[in-house]
Structure 1
Amino acid sequence: MKGLFAITIATIYGLCIRLSFGLLHGFLEIMSITFLFLIPFVIGYLTIILIPAEKTKTNWSAFLKPWITCFVILIITLITKIEGTICWIMIFPIFSVLAGLGGILAHKTRKRKNVSEDDWKNRPTLDASMILLIPILIGLIEGERTSSGQILTVTKEISLQASPTEIWSELIHINEVDSIEKKSIISSTLGFPRHIRTHLDTARVGGKRTAYYEKGLTFEETITAYEPERLMILDIKTDPDKISAQVMDEHILIGGKHLDILEDTYELQALSNGCSKLKLTSKFYINTPFNWYAGLWGNYLMSDILKNELELIKNRAEAK
C-alpha cells in the first residue's frame, strides 16, 4: 500500500506541475530543459523517497519503480488530452530514464543516511518539499532563454521506370490518395495526418499549390522556381491558427514557434538507361533548447513523409 501511495503522490505532483507549466505559459515553458530533464528526475526522486527503504533494496529497483509513475502520468494525460501521442512517443525515452536516475539518487541518499523503516514513518518531509519547488524556480528563470532556432534539411531520392513527362504530371497535381496507397507506418503511428490530395492552379513561378491532409491540415505552397520536367521549388506557409488541436500537439504545431516547414524542392533527372531519378528536399525549422534531440525526431519523421510521397509518385507514374 505504501508503494501505491508513493506512486499516487508522485503522479499528482507530476500532473500539477504539467498543469502549472500550461497555465503559466510564457513564464514556464513546457519545451524547456527544466520540463524535459529536471521534472522527471524529481518525479523519480519523489517516488522512491516516499517508498519505505525495505521495499527498494537495489539500484535497479530504484531505477525501474519510477517508470510506473511515468506510465500512469502518460495514461492520464492521454485520456484527458493534456498531451498528444506524438509528444509522449518522443519524450518518454528521456522522461523515464531521468525519472529512474532520480530514483537511484533517492535510494543512494537514503542508504547513505541509513534511514530505517521506523525513521521513514517519523521522518519529516521538509527535504522532499524543498526539492519539489526546484523545477518551478528554475523554470521561471529559464523561460525561453535556452531556446535557439535551427534550419534542417532532409533529402530523399528514388529511381523510376517512367518518362519525365509521366512523372511530372503526377508530381505537380496529386489526385485523391486512397488509404491503401498510404504505406507510411512511422508517420501514421506518430499521429501525422494522412495526405489526401494536392492541387496546383498554374504550373509557373507564382503558381499556388495546396496540399490537403486529414483533419483540415493544409499547406499553402507558392512556386518560387520552375523548370518543366526538371525543377520546382515551393515556398510553404501554414497558418497555425487554422490547425485544430486534434491535428497535432500544441508543442509541435506546424507553423508555431517550435516547428515550421519552410520549403520543398523537386528535382527530376532523366537517366541514360531510360529511367528517371526524382529527388525531393524539404527544409524545416525547429526552435527548442534541445535541437539535437528534436532534430533526430524531425529528420526521422520528415524522411518517412518524403519517402512515402516519392513512392506514391513512382507507383502512379509507372502504372501509366
Structure 2
Amino acid sequence: MSDSGLALPPEPAAPSASTSWPNLWWVFGAGAGYGLLMRLLFVLPVFRGRAGESGVMLGSFVLLVPLLLGAFTVYLLPPARRTFGQALIAPWLPLLVFVAGTAILLIEGSICIAMALPVFLLLASLGGVLGWLVLRVVTPSRSTVGAVLLLPLAFGAFERGAALPERVGLADASLHIDAPPEVIWHLINDATAIQPAEMAHGLAWRIGVPYPQEAVTVDTDEGRVRKLRWDHGVHFDEPILDWVENRYIRWRYVFAPDSIPPGALDEHIAVGGRHFDLLDTSYRLTPETGGTRLAIHVSYRVSTRFNAYAGALADLLVDDAARTILAFYQRRAEAVTAQTIARR
C-alpha cells in the first residue's frame, strides 16, 4: 500500500527478454483496474452534482481518468518498452478493457460508450505521451504516482458544487419532396407503424437510441398535442405551439416521470434529462414546382462540464437525425403520391 493509500503494482522491472506483450498482462490489467475503480467510485453520493447529476459526467472523471490511465500505463511499462509509439498506443488496451468492463457489468450503456470512446482514446494517448515525457526526465516515487492517481477524486469532490454550463444548439435542414403539402402535413401529424428500417441509417439509432413507432396528433382539453411512442416503452408529448394548416407547425416537448423507462436510454443522455433536452421543433412546408420543400428546425440544450465536446457530438447527432426524419417523410409522401397517381 502506498503512502497515498492507493495500492500500486511493483516498480517497473529493468529491461529483459521477458518483456514481450503476453508478459505485460499485469500492466494492462492494472490500467484497466484503475479505470474501473474510478468509475465505481464516481457514482458515490459525494460526487453527485447539486442538481443530482451523476458523478461520471464530471470533467474530473471524463477528462482526468483516461488521461491518468494513459500516464499510469506508460509508467508501468518496462523501460525497454517506453518508446514514443508505445506511449501513444499502449494505453488503448487497458482503456478498451476498462470500457468493455463497464458494459459487461451493465454500468454503462452503448450510447454513452459510443459517445465517450473517441475522446477517451485521445486523452489516454495524450496521457501516455505526457507520462513518457516525464519519465525521460525523472522517475516519480510510488507515493507520488499514487497521489496523482487520486487527483480525479479530489477535483471531483470540489467540482460537484459548481453549476452546469448550458449550451443551446440549433439544427436546420430541408429537402424537396415530390408530393403536395397536404400529403406531407398528414404524415407529420399521423405517422404510424414506423419500421426500424425506415430510420436505420440515422447515427443516433445506430448507437442505441430506441426506434420511433408512431407520432400522432390528437385534440385535448389543453389543445393539440402530438403524442410519440418509441421502442422500449418510451413515450412523451409534444404540445403544439403554432399551427398553420399545411404550411407550418411547431411544438415543445413534455416528459412525464415515466416517459423514459429504466434502461431505455443511458441516464446521462436521456432526452429531457439534466444533460440533454430537446426544446422545440418546427416544420415549414413551402410549395415548389413539382412538389414541396419541407424544412425542419430543431433547438436543443446540452449541459455538461465539457460542452465543447458534448455539444459537437449533439450537433452531429441531432443534425443527422433531422435529415433522417426528413428522408422518412420524403419516402412515405412520395409513395402515397405515386399510389394516388396510379389509381387515377
TM-score by length of 1: 0.90
206-215 vs 124-133, which moves further: 124-133
The answer on 1:16 being equivalent to 2:37 is yes
The answer to whether the aligner puts 1:211 opposite 2:228 as a matched pair is yes
Match among 309, 316, 320 for residue 325 of structure 2: 309
1:62-86 C-alpha deviation (Å, 9 max, x unpaired):
1211111101011111111111111
Q: Rate the CA distance shift 1:130–1:274 in 2: closer, same or farther, 3 A.
A: same
What corresponds to 1:198 in structure 2? 215
The Cα of 1:267 is off from its aligned counterpart by: 0.8
**Matched residue, 1:118:** none
Aligned-partner Cα distance in 2 for 1:212–1:94: 32
Go from structure 1 to structure 2 and tell me whether the alpha carbon gap of 1:146 and 1:33 turns closer, same or farther (over 3 Å shift): farther
Q: Which runs of 5+ in 1 are unaligned?
A: 116-122
Distance 1:203 1:165 in 2: 22
Q: Are residue 153 (structure 1) and residue 184 (structure 2) matched?
A: no
User: Secondary structure of 1:17's partner?
Assistant: helix
Q: Which residue of 2 aligns with 1:87?
A: 112
Counterpart among 18, 28, 39 of residue 7 in structure 1? 28
Residue number among 42, 45, 48 corresponding to 2:68 in the alignment: 42
Q: Deviations over 1:152-204 (max 9, x none)?
A: 11111111111111111111111211233234241222111111111111399
Q: 1:233-265: CA deviations, max 9, x gaps?
A: 111112355413322111111111101111111
- Write out per-residue CA displacement over residues 61-118 of structure 1, whole angstroms, 9 at most, x where no aligned residue: 11211111101011111111111111122121211121122222222222223x6xxx
Q: Any unmatched runs of 5+ in structure 2? A: 1-21, 337-344
1:147 CA displacement: 2.4
Aligned alpha-carbon RMSD (Å): 2.1
> Aligned pairs, how many?
310
- Cα 1:186–1:288 change in 2 (3 A) is same
Q: Which residue of 2 aligns with 1:164?
A: 181
Structure 1 counterpart of 2:33, one-letter code = I
DSSP 3-state at the match of 2:246: coil
What is the Cα deviation at residue 144 of structure 1? 4.9
User: Of 291, 296, 309, which residue of structure 2 is paired with 1:280?
Assistant: 296
Task: Give the aligned partner of residue 256 of structure 1.
Answer: 273
The equivalent of 1:120 in structure 2 is none
Secondary structure, counterpart of 1:30 in structure 2: helix
Please list, as runs of the form range in 1=range in 2, the aligned pairs for 1:38-187 lying within 5 A after superposition.
Answer: 38-56=64-82, 58-113=83-138, 125-145=142-162, 147-187=164-204
Task: Assess if the C-alpha contact under 8 Å between 2:202 and 2:321 holds in 1.
Answer: no
- Kept in 2, the 8 Å contact 1:32–1:146? The answer is no
Cα distance change on mapping 1:139 and 1:234 into 2, 3 Å? same
Q: Is the 8 A contact 1:239 1:255 kept in 2?
A: no
Distance 1:29 1:241 in 2: 23
Letter in 2 for 1:6: V
Q: Does 1:268 align with 2:294?
A: no
Local SS of the residue matching 1:176: coil
Structure 1 segments (4+ residues) deviating >4 Å: none
The percent identity for this pair of structures is 27
